[in-house]
Chains A and B, each alone.
Chain A
Amino acid sequence: MTTFVELLLSGLSIGSVYALIALGFVIIFKATEVVNFAHASLLLAGGYLTAVLRDDIGFWAALLVGVAGAAAVGALVEFLVIRRYRGHDHSVLAIVTIGVDIVLVTELTRQIGARVMPMGDPWGDRVLTFGSVSIPQTRVAAFVTAALIIGAFLLAFRFTSWGVAMRAVAEHPETAALMGIRLGRVSSSAWAVAGALATVAALFLTVFPTPGLERGTSLVALKAFPAAILGGLDSTTGALVGGLVIGVTQSMAAGYQSDLAFLGRGIGDLAPYLVMLLVLLVRPAGLFGTRELSRV
C-alpha cells in the first residue's frame, strides 16, 4: 500500500509537469493551429540557460533568465518561421517545426555534450515523510508549482483581455481580426507562453531524483505529446487530464516493473504511448477534444 501511495503521488507530480508541457502545446495549437514538434527544443533551451547561468547569478535569477530566454526563442520561431508561411496546409507547418527542432536540438545537445548539468535547485535531495510514505521534496515542489501556474494561466485565459483575445482567435481567426485583435501578437504571445511553461517543466524534469540536464532530456519531453493528444489537442482541460494520466501510468508501470517483467524492461517509458493508442482507438479526437465537423 505504501508503495502504491508513493507511486501515485510521484506519478501525479510528474504528471503535473507533463501537463505544463502539454498545456503549452495546446495553447500553440489553439492560437495558430500549428502542431509544434519543436516543443522539446524550447524545453531544452530553457533548461540549458538555467543550468548554465546558475553558478554565476544564482538559481532563481537563472531560472528567470531561462524562462525569459525560452519565451524569446518561442516568439522568435513564431516571428521568423511560422509567420512567413504563406500556404494553408497546417501539416506542412508541422513538418517545418520538425526542421526547427532538428536545428535547435542539434545545437543544444552539442553545447551540452556529454555533461550532466545539475540545476542547483534549493530542494536538493531532501525527502518528506508522512507516516510510512516518503516523497522527495522536489516532487512536492513540482506539483505545487505546476498547480499554481496552471491555475493562474486558466484564470488569465478566462478573465484577462489577453485570454479573451486568445479564445476569440481560437474560435474564428478572421472574425477576431476584424474585431481588432492583432493575430500576430496573439500567436507570438502563445509561443512565448509555451516556451516559459516548458522551461518550468524542464526544471522539474531534471531535479532530484534525476541527476540533471543532459542530451537525453529532450526525449523525456516527448512524453508530453501523448499527454496532449490523449486529452485532445484543442482542450486545456484535456492537457491537464492527459498529463496526469500519463504521469501516473508511467510511474505505476515503472514502479511495478518486476510484476510486469513479461513485457520486457523499460515498460515505464513505453506505457504513455500504449495508453494513448488505446484512448485513440475509442476516441479518435482524444478525451476532451472537439470532434472535427465538416460542412459539405
Chain B
Amino acid sequence: MSESTTAATTGPAGTAGESGAGSATGRGRRARVRVRPPRRAAARTVAAVAAAGLLLLALPFYLDRFWLQAGLLAMAAAIGAIGLNLLTGATGQLSLGHSFFLAVGAYGYCVLAGDRDGELTGLGLPGWLAVTGAVAMAGAAGGLFSPIAGRLRGAYLGIATLALVFIGQHVLLNAHDLTGGYNGRPVPPLSLFGITFDDTETVVAAVPFQSMEKLWYAGLALLTVCAFFAHGVLRDRPGRALNAIRDHRIAAGVMGVPVARQRAGVFVLSSMYAGLAGVLLALVFQQTVPEYFGIVLALEYLAMIVIGGLGSVSGAVTGAVFVTLLPQILTRYSEALPLVSAPGTGGVAPGEMSRYLYGAAIVAIVLFLPGGLVRLAARRGHTQKDEA
C-alpha cells in the first residue's frame, strides 16, 4: 500500500513524508533514507492495491450472509475510525464520545428517511437526501459541541466528550417519537439510483443478491471515498497543521496555523465521518437500538485507532477490521477454539475473549509497538526493500 510509506516517513515532529520530493538535500543522512520507493516498488504497490480491490469486489459472489455482514460492519467501523483518527490520532484531541456522533448519524437517517409510523416521526425524504442530511446533522452536533471542545485539552476533553455519550443515551431513551425509546426503531432501506438496498432478490450471475450483497458495494464505495479524502487531508497542508497542533499547539499558532479554527474544523469533520459510519451501521443492522451506542462502543473505536496506528488512514482501517472481525471470527469458530465456549455455558464467551484480546492488544501495542500494526507492516516492507 502507498499508505505505509507515508506512515513510515511521518516523523515524531509530524513532518509529512515530502522530503524525497526535492528538499532532501539539506537534511543530511536521515533524509536520504526517506526517498520515495523506486518505481518497481511503486508498481508493485499499485498491483497489490488493484488485486485487493478486485478481491473485495468479487467477495459478495462467494461469501455467505454472515461474513458479508461482518465485512460491512468492518467497513462502517473503518469509516468511523478514520474520523476518530483524524481527531485523536492526527490532532491529539482525545475523544471518548465517538459513539454519540454515530448515534446521531444512525437515528438522523431513520428520522429523515423513515415514514411516519404511529408515534414515530419520519420525514420520508429520498435516500440520498436522508444520508446527506444525517451526515450534516452529525457534523452540526460536532459543531455545537465546539464551544466546549475548543476550551479543553487532554483528559478534560476526554471526559467532557464522555458526557456526550451519557447525554446521547438519555435522549435516545427518552425522545420516544424520534428514536422509539428502548427498543429503537426500524431502519428504512436505502434507495439510490433506482436500486433499493433491501432483501428483495436480484439475481446477478446466478448469485442471488440480497441487502448485504448490495450494501457491500455501497459500503465499499463510501469507504474508498472517505479513505481518499482523509488521506488527502492528512497528506497536505491541513494534515501538517493538525499534526503541528498535536505536537505543539503554541508553536503551531506562532507559525500561523489558525489553531482554534482547525480544531473546530477537525472536530466537525470527524463527527461527519462518525455520522456516515452510523448510517451504514444502521442500514446493516436494519434496527437501531440505544444500547449499542454506549460507552463500550466509544472505547472500541479508541481501541481500533491505537491498535491499527494513530494518525493514519491505513491504521484506522486496519484497526477497525481487527476489532470488528475478532468477535465474529471467535463466535463462528468457538467450538474449534480452545478456551472459548458458547455464551451462557460458564466459560469464556467469544465476546469476552475478544475483549480480553483487544484490551491486551492496546496495552501491548502502545508499550512494544508504538505506531500500531501498520508500522509493523511498514517496517517489514522497508527491510524487504533494503534487501532488494
Contacts and interface: CB of A to CB of B under 8 A. Distances in A.
Interface of A: 29, 35, 81, 84-87, 89-96, 98-103, 106-107, 110, 219, 222, 225-226, 229, 233, 264-267, 269-270, 273-274, 276-277, 280-281, 284-286, 292, 294, 296
A234 B349 CA distance: 40
With a 10 A CB-CB cut-off, give which of A84, A92, A93, A274 has the most chain B CB atoms.
A92
B361 interface: yes
A123 to B, nearest CB: 30
B348 interface: yes
Nearest to B351: A106
Contacts of B251: 296
With a 10 A CB-CB cut-off, give which of A93, A106, A266, A269 has the most chain B CB atoms.
A106
B326 interface: no
Given A102-B359, A277-B163, 7 more contacts: A84-B367, A94-B158, A95-B94, A226-B159, A229-B160, A284-B152, A296-B251
A103 B370 contact: no
Interface in B249-288: 250-251, 254
Nearest to B364: A99
Given A91-B155, A106-B359, A226-B163, A85 B250 contact: no
With a 10 A CB-CB cut-off, give which of A95, A100, A225 has the most chain B CB atoms.
A95
Nearest first, the 9 A-B pairs at minimum CB distance are: A99-B362, A264-B174, A102-B359, A273-B163, A35-B155, A103-B359, A284-B151, A106-B355, A99-B363
Contacts of A103: 355-356, 359-360, 363
B358 A102 contact: yes
B303 interface: yes
B348 to A, nearest CB: 7
A96 B366 contact: yes
Given A35-B158, A91-B94, A102 B367 contact: no
With a 10 A CB-CB cut-off, give which of A93, A99, A103, A229 has the most chain B CB atoms.
A99
A226 to B, nearest CB: 7
Interface of B: 92, 94, 147-148, 151-156, 158-160, 162-163, 166-167, 170-171, 173-175, 250-251, 254, 295, 299, 302-303, 306, 310, 348-349, 352, 355-356, 358-363, 366-367, 370
A284 B363 contact: no
Contacts, number: 130
Contacts of A99: 303, 306, 358-363, 366
Contacts of A233: 155-156
A29 B159 CA distance: 14
Contact of B362 (A90, A98, A264, A273): A98
B159 A294 contact: no
B167 to A, nearest CB: 6
With a 10 A CB-CB cut-off, give which of B154, B303, B358, B370 has the most chain A CB atoms.
B154
6 contacts: A95-B362, A101-B359, A102-B299, A102-B358, A107-B356, A274-B167
With a 10 A CB-CB cut-off, give which of B162, B163, B167, B251 has the most chain A CB atoms.
B163
Contacts of A110: 348-349, 352
A106 B303 CA distance: 15
Contacts of B370: 87
A281 B151 contact: yes
Contact of B170 (A35, A229, A266): A266
Contacts of B250: 294, 296
Nearest to B349: A110
Contact of A276 (B163, B175, B359, B363): B163
B174 A102 contact: no
Contacts of B361: 99
Given A92-B366, A281-B151, A294-B250, A264 B173 contact: yes
A89 B366 CA distance: 11
B356 to A, nearest CB: 6
Given A96-B363, A98-B302, A281 B254 contact: no
Contact of B152 (A95, A267, A280): A280
A85 B370 CA distance: 10
B272 to A, nearest CB: 22
B302 A225 contact: no
A266 B173 contact: yes
B148 A280 contact: yes
A96 B94 contact: no
A229 B159 contact: yes
Nearest to B353: A106
A84 to B, nearest CB: 5
A225 B363 contact: no
Nearest to B150: A284
A229 B160 CA distance: 9
Contacts of A226: 159, 163
Given A270-B167, A277-B148, A102 B303 contact: yes
B160 A96 contact: no
A184 B303 CA distance: 27
B170 A270 contact: yes
Given A98-B362, A102-B355, A273-B163, A85 B367 contact: yes
Nearest to B294: A219
B276 to A, nearest CB: 24
